Amino acid sequence: MATIASQTLRVARDLRVRRATFEALTVTITAMFILYLVQQARQASDLDLAFMGDRAGFAVGDQFLTNVDGNDSRWAVYFAGIMNTIGIAVFGTALAILIGLVAGIARLSSNWLAARLAFFFVEAIRNTPLLPFVVFCYTAIVLQLPPIRDSLSIVGVGFASNRAIALPWAQPTDGAGMWALVVFIALAIAIGVFAALRRYEETTGQPSRPWRVSVGLFAAIATGSFFLMGQPLRWDVPEVSRFAYDGGLQLSPEFVGLLLALALFNGAFVAEIVRGAIQSVPRGEREAAAALGFSQWDQMRLVVLPQALRAMLPPLATQCQALVKYSAVAIAIAFPDLMTVGGTLINQSGEAIPLFILMMVTYLILNLVIAIIFTGPQWRRFNLRPRTRRI
């Protein structure tokens, strides 16, 4: 008995056994909890999504790259809501990163005024709840634009009013699809040339200017093919009519208000990410660059930012995921994003549980895609290291 007890005690003290036991216990509890939720959901509602194939019966006002109406299925309307969320996420992420990069660098500026303005911007927005900030941007900024008859001119080619923001837009003509294929091929060639020149530069130490060559090659192929193929795109410039704009790309006040709010709100958080990543780079790196004669701009562009980017990407991915989830507040200003369209479908069909599960899975997939884009292995191929000065 003593031998059995000692062996049992020895096994219990084994770290691998304890880890396996805790993992098995965790998996068991999680599985039981999920089964309990599924059972409760089945008792409350049928989890079948067959009703999504029925006629929607309502249209989506703003649409991003879709064109559905009330005669389409509920799946089509739901997909339109997903595309609207993706549109807000793409443009909001781009603007938030741009705003955050400028504000983050400005916070570290030696210029007292620039640093204080950036500090006030970051602290004021980060300490404001998102929902009232979205409503403020929509009602106090976008809806306060002049009426359409007194539209503000945007560099002579666009217009802004409380009815819409109208911008020039490229309309495809005959041969646009073939030209898009040529542009895609040109992009692939440019990426290959960039990788080859970077490898040559790192191997030989000779400057090859990969960015200039690859961008110039892409621009030359895209521009040359554009004119050789008879200009397959034409600019559609908006014009002001009595009650609306004719032509061009028209952005609704709801879209502009939500985009502005999310870009500014998340830009403030991105600014802190940028500031922290830059400060994580050792001071000696910048001092060494200054000793070699680098200007402050070259120090930031060639030495500091390439090293800060590695520390910046994980929290930046988290903030971009937060932007996608924050877009659900669009329901407060009636922008038809995924949450708004899903809520309308729930009110219309009465199937709350299946639709909420479907929306949760959709948001999960969108966030996983963002995580892969920002933290995937593709960034390792860019070799983000400080670069030597070309003499």
In this prediction, residue 119 carries a pLDDT of 92
Closest CA to 100 of 125, 68, 82: 125
In this prediction, residue 12 carries a pLDDT of 66
| Phi, psi (deg, nearest 5) at residue 380 | -65, -25
Residue 239, in any domain of the structure: no
In this prediction, residue 120 carries a pLDDT of 93
In this prediction, residue 9 carries a pLDDT of 64
Six-digit token string for 338? 């995924």
In this prediction, residue 247 carries a pLDDT of 79
> Based on the domain organization, do 386 and 257 belong to the same domain?
yes
> Based on the domain organization, do 29 and 83 belong to the same domain?
no
Residue 347, in any domain of the structure: yes
Element (H, E) at 333: none
Residue 172, in any domain of the structure: no
Q: What is the CATH number of the domain that holds 297?
A: 1.10.3720.10
The alpha helices in 205-304, defined as continuous H runs, are 210-228, 253-280, 283-291, 296-298
This prediction has a pTM of: 0.80
In this prediction, residue 84 carries a pLDDT of 92
> Based on the domain organization, do 131 and 11 belong to the same domain?
no
| Phi, psi (deg, nearest 5) at residue 59 | -105, 160
> Based on the domain organization, do 19 and 113 belong to the same domain?
no
Owning domain of residue 6: 2-44
Residue 74, in any domain of the structure: yes
> Based on the domain organization, do 69 and 87 belong to the same domain?
yes
In this prediction, residue 391 carries a pLDDT of 42
In this prediction, residue 42 carries a pLDDT of 66
Report the C-alpha gap between 49 and 10 in whole angstroms: 53
In this prediction, residue 157 carries a pLDDT of 79
Give mean pLDDT in consecutive 10-residue pieces for the chain, a chain of 391 residues: 64 73 87 80 69 84 82 90 92 93 88 90 92 92 88 82 85 82 90 87 80 88 86 82 80 91 94 89 82 80 82 88 91 90 88 87 91 68 47 42
> Based on the domain organization, do 130 and 262 belong to the same domain?
yes
381: burial class by Cβ within 10 Å (0-12, 13-18, 19+)?
Answer: exposed
Q: How far is CA 306 from the centre of its chain?
A: 21
In this prediction, residue 267 carries a pLDDT of 94
Report the C-alpha gap between 349 and 64 in whole angstroms: 24
Residue 52, in any domain of the structure: yes
In this prediction, residue 259 carries a pLDDT of 93
Residue 373, in any domain of the structure: yes
Report the C-alpha gap between 386 and 285 in whole angstroms: 9
In this prediction, residue 3 carries a pLDDT of 67
In this prediction, residue 169 carries a pLDDT of 83
> Based on the domain organization, do 12 and 91 belong to the same domain?
no
In this prediction, residue 13 carries a pLDDT of 67
Report the C-alpha gap between 12 and 65 in whole angstroms: 60
Residue 53, in any domain of the structure: yes
> Based on the domain organization, do 39 and 107 belong to the same domain?
no
Q: How many domains does the chain have?
A: 2
In this prediction, residue 381 carries a pLDDT of 47
In this prediction, residue 20 carries a pLDDT of 81
> Based on the domain organization, do 50 and 139 belong to the same domain?
yes
In this prediction, residue 382 carries a pLDDT of 46
DSSP summary character for residue 73 = B
> Based on the domain organization, do 364 and 257 belong to the same domain?
yes
